[in-house]
Each structure stands twice: as C-alpha cells, then as structure tokens.
C-alpha cells in the first residue's frame, strides 16, 4: 500500500505543480479572453479561431508528432543514466524539429491562397497566412525544447515557460487588439509564438546537456524510429485536426463566422479551464507509463491510479461548470456569448467519459503500437465528426454539446474494449465506484439546472457541487497523506516561482 500511496502522491504532485501554475495561466487567459471578446466580438473570435485551426492542421501534418513521440526517446535516454546517450537523443531531436518546422512554414507560405479560399471562401486572407507561416517554425522548435524538458523531467522549468508565455501573450495581444482591432490578430499570433519560443529556449538552455555534433542527414537516419512513431501520431493528430477544421468550416457556411466564434468560445472554456488538468496529468503520466509499459500488470495499476485521480480532481470542476455556466460565460466573455451555455453543459457531461478514456489512450503510445493508435483514432474521429455535423444541423450549438457527449461515450467504450483485448486492461473496483458516484452527481447537477429556475437551480446545484467536492476530498485523502503533500507542493512552488 505504501508503494501505491507513493504513486498516487506522485500523480497529485505533478498535477498540482502544473495545475497551480496553470491556475495563474488561466487567470491570465481569463483577462485575455475578456479583452478579445469585448474588443473583437464573436466575429473576431471566429476569424482568429479559423486562422489558428488552419495552422494547427498544417502543424499536425508537418510536425510528425514529434512533440509526443520524441518524449519516449529522451525519457529512455535519461533513464539510462548515460549523459552521452541523452545528448545524442536531444541532438537528433533538435535537428528534426528544425526540418519539420521549416517544412510547415514553407507549405503554409506557398499554399496561402488555397488556405484562404478553403477557410474563408475567398483570397482576402492569403496575406495573413503568408505572415503567420513563420509561426510553424517557431512553434515546432518550441515544441522540441518542451520535449527536452518533459523527457528529462524538468517540469518546473516547463511550468515556468508555460506561465511566462501566457503572460507575455497577454501583454502583447491586448494592446494589438485594442489599437488595431481585427488587423491585430495576425501580429498577435506571430509575436506570441516568437515569445513562447524565446522562453522555452531559455529554460531548455538551463539544463546542462553535452554537445553532440549531428548532421541533418544523420539526424534523419538515426531519428527514423522517432519519425515512424511520430508519423503515425501526426496522421492521427491530422485526422483530429482535420475533423475539427471541417466542423468549423461547416459552422461557418451554415451559421456564419459569429457562430464559429461562439463555438470556439464555448469549447475554449472546457479545453482551457478543464483541459489544463489533462495537460498537467499527461506531463508526468506518459513518461511514467512508458517506463512500465512492458509489464501489463504494472501498467494497468498505474492507469487505474491515473483514472481515479483524474475523476476525483475533475468532477467537482465539471459540476460547478454545469451549475454556474451562465456566470462563467459572462465573466470570461460577455452577454453576446451566452448562446453557448447549453452546449457547454452537455459537453461537460462528455468530459467524464473523456477523462475515463484519458489513461487508456496513452498505453498505445507507451507500447509503441503506432498503427493501432492511428486506426483507433481514425475510427473515433470519424464518428465524432459525423455526430458533430448531425448535431449542429439538428440543434445548432446545443447539438454540438450533445454530439460531444455521445461521441466520447462511444469513444470510452471503444478504448476500454481495445485496451482489454490487447493489454489485459480492466478498471479497478475503486475506479468504478468513484466514476459512477461522480457521474451521478454530475447528472444531478445537469438535471437541476434544466428542471429548476434560478435561484433554486443555484441552491440545489451548489449543494450537489459541495457533495462532489467533499467526496473528492475524502477520496484523495484516502490515497495520500494530503497534509504532507500540500506542504511539499507549496514548498516546491515557492522555491520555483519565476523571478
């Protein structure tokens, strides 16, 4: 039991380190989103969202998934304790990100008229795509620096880079939007990307790694395994990004750019303010899972521990989102964005199933089963895309929330069946108990806000949220020495605050 408590404690510590940093990042993001919502409105958010979605699509193709696949190589080299092996793996990675970054930038620059036509139905934004093409290089090199920090487990540096990058993005983008309006979107994207690169490079340079001279040709040859796994990851990532891109274009055609802005705003609430918990957990989880991937029993135990912890942390947040979504939207954006309320409530229920699927998704990568991962994601994104198109056609933005719930429920079943068949995975009784109780409390919150009018919906909803919070508190306390963990986390955070 002591070993399991240590494992739970490691999960909580890594999540809290990044989670605490990202709480500050979220506060910065709230301020930034508020300014963008007021200064640009739904239409401006729609334009920015479409440009960024297009860039993500190109990144998904040209980046070869190195942001994930290379972590395994760097982490393995680090685990060996051989400094020469570490410097060699990092040297190969750094050559590869330059090659793939330049590929993305060149593709975007020369395809800019086509990208503008596909995205906006005209060539008016071709110049914008030419300008932002350089961010494909900046972002990919920045990804490489982040991989080094993740693989070497320098999570404090990675957290600092993330925090300072968000702050720099705020300080740059808000004045640009204020003085230039819609014309400030492109400069804000470019400068924010450049600042992120500078910060990740700075913190990566603080890690002492020996120099290894590797030519680009040699890097391509020796990094072929990275590229092979990354290629499969990029295909699966490209499928997901392509599906997301199609949904945005579909919304733009049927509902206009304003509807795209509302869609982006609604899912930004979940992806930014709830998704940060996934990001925090994944930062440490994937390297740890890779270390035990050869042992199905050990992997299963870690996957269940991660699943239990994820639900315990996420569930109270999701319940609160369902009850107070109207106030959250008003605080983060403005009254122009309240049309997303129902979409967010339905999607919040879907996050329960997404969270339960989260720990299973990484086992394919940890096992190096890139083809299985790709086909699994291809199937999932195909039916999720179909659900989204049908949902928006039948019920608009609310239909997208319903389709999100339906898609991730099916995805949860798919992931469980595949993981069970291939890797003998099964959920522990402890996880099943936690999941069913928290899902029931979440469903009760959803029912309360749908069936009751304010203030009764807020009163009943608050009681249920507190019940969810109390259950999670006692669940976490059972798994770790909570008081000692809190003091240790506080000590680490105060020691590693950016100066």
CA angle at residue 30 from 25 to 36, to 5 degrees?
120
Euclidean distance between CA atoms 460 and 467, whole angstroms = 11
Domain layout of the chain by residue ranges? 2-495
- Token digits for 414? 């798919």
Q: Does position 413 have pLDDT exceeding 80, yes or no? A: yes
Cβ atoms 299, 289 nearer than 8 A = yes
Q: Does position 198 have pLDDT exceeding 90, yes or no? A: yes
Long-range contacts, stretch 25-31, CB < 8 angstroms, 24+ apart: 25/162, 25/163, 25/166, 25/276, 26/272, 26/273, 26/276, 28/166, 28/167, 28/169, 28/170, 29/166, 29/170, 29/272, 29/273, 30/331, 30/332, 31/170, 31/174
**Range list of H helices, 152-295:** 155-180, 185-205, 216-222, 224-255, 257-273, 275-292
Is 124 buried (19+), middle (13-18) or exposed (0-12) by CB count in 10 A?
exposed
- CA 360 to chain centroid, in Å, comes to 16
Residue 427 has φ and ψ, to the nearest 5°, of -75, 145
Q: Please list the helix, strand and coil fractions of the chain in percent, rounded to the nearest 5, in that order.
A: 90, 0, 10
Q: Does position 319 have pLDDT exceeding 80, yes or no? A: yes
- Token digits for 248? 């945005």
Cβ atoms 160, 21 nearer than 8 A = yes
Cβ atoms 380, 411 nearer than 8 A = yes
In this prediction, residue 121 carries a pLDDT of 86
**Which residues contact residue 54 at a Cβ distance below 8 angstroms, ignoring those fewer than 6 apart?**
115, 118, 119, 129, 245
Could you give the 3-state DSSP secondary structure of residue 439? helix
Number of H helices, E strands in the chain: 18, 0
Q: Which residue has the higher pLDDT, 478 or 439?
A: 439
| Longest CA–CA separation in the chain, Å | 67
Euclidean distance between CA atoms 105 and 103, whole angstroms = 6
8-state DSSP, 208: -
Lowest mean pLDDT among 144-153, 211-220, 478-487: 478-487
Q: Does position 404 have pLDDT exceeding 50, yes or no? A: yes
Half-sphere exposure of 12 (CA within 13 A, CB side): 28
Lowest mean pLDDT among 158-172, 179-193, 386-400: 158-172
In this prediction, residue 418 carries a pLDDT of 95
In this prediction, residue 280 carries a pLDDT of 62
Cβ atoms 311, 468 nearer than 8 A = no
Q: Does position 189 have pLDDT exceeding 90, yes or no? A: yes
In this prediction, residue 263 carries a pLDDT of 94
Is 327 buried (19+), middle (13-18) or exposed (0-12) by CB count in 10 A?
exposed
Euclidean distance between CA atoms 83 and 67, whole angstroms = 22
8-state DSSP, 333: S
Euclidean distance between CA atoms 201 and 69, whole angstroms = 20
In this prediction, residue 58 carries a pLDDT of 92
- Token digits for 398? 């609310």
8-state DSSP, 134: H
- For the stretch 90-110, pLDDT in tens is 888 888 999 999 999 999 999
Q: State what percent of residues in the chain have pLDDT above 70.
A: 89
Question: Residue 420's pLDDT band (boundaries 50, 70, 90)?
Answer: very high
Lowest mean pLDDT among 319-323, 410-414, 475-479: 475-479
**Which residues contact residue 253 at a Cβ distance below 8 angstroms, ignoring those fewer than 6 apart?**
none
- For the stretch 30-77, pLDDT in tens is 788 788 888 888 888 889 889 998 999 898 888 888 887 788 788 888
Euclidean distance between CA atoms 302 and 336, whole angstroms = 44
Would you say the pTM of this structure is higher than 0.85? no
Q: Does position 138 have pLDDT exceeding 60, yes or no? A: yes
Residue 212 has φ and ψ, to the nearest 5°, of -130, 120
Q: Does position 265 have pLDDT exceeding 80, yes or no? A: yes
Q: Does position 151 have pLDDT exceeding 70, yes or no? A: yes
């Amino acid at each position: 039991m002591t070993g399991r408590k240590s494992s739970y404690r490691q999960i909580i510590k890594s999540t809290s380190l990044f989670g605490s940093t990202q709480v500050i990042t979220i506060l910065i993001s709230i301020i930034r989103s508020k300014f963008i919502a007021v200064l640009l409105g739904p239409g401006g958010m729609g334009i920015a969202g479409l440009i960024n979605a297009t860039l993500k699509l190109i990144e998904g193709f040209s980046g070869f998934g190195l942001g994930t696949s290379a972590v395994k190589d760097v982490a393995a080299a680090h685990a060996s304790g051989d400094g020469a092996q570490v410097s060699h793996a990092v040297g190969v990675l750094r050559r590869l990100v330059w090659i793939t970054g330049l590929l993305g930038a060149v593709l975007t620059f020369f395809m800019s008229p086509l990208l503008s036509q596909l995205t906006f139905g005209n060539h008016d934004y071709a110049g914008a795509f030419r300008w932002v093409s350089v961010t494909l290089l900046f972002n990919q090199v920045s990804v490489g620096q982040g991989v080094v920090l993740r693989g070497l487990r320098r999570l404090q540096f990675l957290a600092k880079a993330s925090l300072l990058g968000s702050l720099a993005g705020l300080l740059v983008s808000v004045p640009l939007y204020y003085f230039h309006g819609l014309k400030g979107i492109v400069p804000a994207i470019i400068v924010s990307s450049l600042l992120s690169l500078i910060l990740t490079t700075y913190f990566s340079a603080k890690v002492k790694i020996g120099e290894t001279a590797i030519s680009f040709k040699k890097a391509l040859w020796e990094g072929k395994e990275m590229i092979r796994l990354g290629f499969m990851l990029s295909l699966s990532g490209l499928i997901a990004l392509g599906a997301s891109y199609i949904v945005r274009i579909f919304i733009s055609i049927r509902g206009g750019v304003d509807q795209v802005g509302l869609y982006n705003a609604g899912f930004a609430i979940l992806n930014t303010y709830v998704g940060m918990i996934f990001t925090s957990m994944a930062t440490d989880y994937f390297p740890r899972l890779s270390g035990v991937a050869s042992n199905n029993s050990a992997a299963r135990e870690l996957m269940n521990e991660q699943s239990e912890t994820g639900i315990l942390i996420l569930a109270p947040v999701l319940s609160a989102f369902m009850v107070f979504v109207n106030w959250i939207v008003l605080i983060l954006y403005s009254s122009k964005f309240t049309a997303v309320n129902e979409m967010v409530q339905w999607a919040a229920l879907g996050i329960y199933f997404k969270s339960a699927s989260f720990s299973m998704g990484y086992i394919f990568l940890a096992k190096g089963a890139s083809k299985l991962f790709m086909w699994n994601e291809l199937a999932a994104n195909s039916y999720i895309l179909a659900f989204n198109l049908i949902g928006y056609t039948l019920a608009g933005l609310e239909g997208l929330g319903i389709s999100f719930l339906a898609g991730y429920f099916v995805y949860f079943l798919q992931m469980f069946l595949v993981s069970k068949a291939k890797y003998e995975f099964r959920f522990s009784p402890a996880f099943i108990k936690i999941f069913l109780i928290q899902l029931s409390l979440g469903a009760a919150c959803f029912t309360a806000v749908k069936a009751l009018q304010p203030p009764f919906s807020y009163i009943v909803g608050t009681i249920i949220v507190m019940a969810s919070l109390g259950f999670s508190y006692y669940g976490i306390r059972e798994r770790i020495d909570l008081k000692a963990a809190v003091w240790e986390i506080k000590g680490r955070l105060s020691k590693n605050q950016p100066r």
